[in-house]
């Protein structure tokens, strides 16, 4: 699952996925679009349910900061091409 929030030029992206060992990860990426400013954090969780709780916490925080959701996709291939172009360099799973 991939969810992206935006506020002006600022973005916050969450990617829930399994690594090559089958462990569940919640990857959070944030920054300012078009710049190198930002950060990346991986959090290991025990299950998809635990990931959903963490994602809900992130959603609550981002919405309280004035961010609005612009994308929710189950798979990177579901992201529209025009949005992929604006997200170059921001995706934790490749350019």
At 49-92, the pLDDT tens digits run 999 999 999 999 999 999 999 988 887 767 776 676 666 666 55
How confident is the model at residue 46, as a pLDDT? Answer: 96
82 in a structural domain: no
Q: Dihedral, CA atoms, 45, 50, 51, 52, nearest 10 degrees?
A: 180
51's CB contacts (< 8 A; 6+ apart) are: 16, 24, 26, 45
Q: Which domain holds residue 51?
A: 2-71
| pTM, full prediction | 0.82
How many independent structural domains does the chain possess? 1
> Does any domain span residue 81?
no
- Assess contact for 11 and 5: CB atoms under 8 A: yes
Predicted local distance difference test score (pLDDT) of residue 95: 43
Confidence category of residue 33, pLDDT binned at 50, 70, 90? confident
């Amino acid at each position: 699952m991939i969810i992206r929030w935006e506020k002006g030029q600022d973005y916050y992206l969450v990617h829930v996925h399994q690594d090559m060992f089958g462990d569940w990860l919640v990857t959070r990426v944030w920054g300012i679009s078009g710049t190198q400013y930002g950060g990346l954090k991986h959090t290991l969780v025990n299950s998809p349910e635990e990931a959903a709780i963490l994602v809900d916490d992130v959603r609550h925080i981002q919405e309280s900061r004035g961010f609005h959701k612009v994308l929710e996709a189950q798979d990177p291939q579901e992201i529209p091409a025009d949005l992929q172009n604006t997200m170059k360099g921001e995706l934790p799973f490749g350019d």
